[in-house]
Every structure is written in structure tokens, then in C-alpha cells.
Structure 1
Amino acid sequence: MRNRYFRTDVRLGIPLPILDREWEQYDVTEQMGIVEQWELIRGRIPDVIFALEREIVLNQQMLDDEDDFVRSCKLNSDIAELASRINELHIWYRVNQEIEQRRHS
């Protein structure tokens, strides 16, 4: 998805906001459009997290059976990267709450 307010983050697998001004500087119509689009994107975040969690489980299963030290290190690194992405997605998932609080303040 490409538009003026969002750009796809390949690492996270979702479009992220690329706002070039403070929230209050957008007119109400723009704010509503941004929030509506973000809600659609945000709604997909749990599915992306679930898919990453499945990858972690698969990597952990491979790690359990891995005897090669170098390969074990690579699997551990991959697991850590996936966990990092999940943490970031959780943070982005909460962004809507902050926007909603601003809108109602």
C-alpha cells in the first residue's frame, strides 16, 4: 500500500504512518482518513504476529534437533529477530489508542 500517509515497512510486513506534521496540523478530514486507513492496517497486525509466532515455534523445533553450533547460533538469531518484530508490532498496535485519546481530548 502506498499513499501520502503510509509506506510499507518490509521488515514488519505492514504499512506504517509517515506523517510529516504534528497530528493537530492535519485538518479533520485528513485525520479521519488517516485513522480509518490505520484501523484497517491495525486490524491485520494480530494475524502478522500470529504468523511470526508460528515461525518462532518452527525455528525452536529445528533448534531442539540441531547439533551444529553455527546453525544453532543462526536459529537463535532468527528467533530473536522474529521476537523483535513481534514487539514492534505490539507497539504499533497500541498507536491507535493514542490517536483516539488525542481525538477526544
Structure 2
Amino acid sequence: MIEHFAFDQRLGIAIPDLTMEWDEYSAEIQQEILLTWEQTRGSIPDRIAELEEEINDKQAQLSDESDFPRSCQLNSEIADLASIINDLWLWYRANQVVSKVHL
């Protein structure tokens, strides 16, 4: 099933990378894709928890930081991590509907 997924470095998970329309895949391949996705999807909350820990660490650093440029950098890193979390939640929720419809 690896051929139907691509690892997204930013998100830290493999996401679907389908080259055809969903209905063009055989029922067997659809089931394999959905099974693989459900396994990946199940790991998303753990990935989010990891990123939240990173945010908490950076916020702790920020509270003790007196150097303005470093504070700006930390704020930017926190915003980037929050953006990744948002995108992960979108993947988690959007594909939940697809999985229920096709299972």
C-alpha cells in the first residue's frame, strides 16, 4: 500500500497520494487503502500530542527569554507547530467521513 501514500515531512505522517479517482480502484485496493489510512489516522492524536509538547517547551523558553529576536523566532516556531496541528486535525476529521462512507 505504500504506493498509494506519500510521507509528508511537515506533518510527520504518510498521507494518501492517489493517482486515480477513487471509483477507478478495485474494491480490494480501496479496502487496503482504507485499512492503511485508518492505521495512520489512528496515530494522528499521538503526533499532535508530540507537537503540543514541543509548543509547551517553546512557550516555557519564551517566558524566560529577554532577547527580542529570539522571542520572535520562538513565536514563529510556535505558530508553525500550531499550523501543523491544525492540518493534522483536518486530515483526521476529513477522512473520517470518507472512511465511514466507504467501509
* TM alignment of 1:1-105, pairs within 5 A: 3-103=2-102
* Aligned length in residues: 103
User: Root-mean-square deviation (CA), in Å?
Assistant: 1.4
Q: Which runs of 5+ in 1 are unaligned?
A: none
Q: Deviations over 1:46-72 (max 9, x none)?
A: 000000001001100100010000000
Question: Within 2, Cα distance between the matches of 1:77 and 1:16?
Answer: 25
Question: Within 2, Cα distance between the matches of 1:95 and 1:32?
Answer: 18
Q: Which runs of 5+ in 2 are unaligned?
A: none
Cα deviation, residue 20, structure 1 = 1.1
Give aligned-pair identity as a percent: 49
Q: SS in structure 2 opposite 1:4?
A: helix
| Bigger helix fraction | 2
TM-score (norm 2): 0.93
Consecutive aligned runs of 4 or more in structure 1 exceeding 4 Å deviation:
none
Q: SS in structure 2 opposite 1:21?
A: coil
TM-score (norm 1): 0.92
Question: Within 2, Cα distance between the matches of 1:20 and 1:77?
Answer: 35
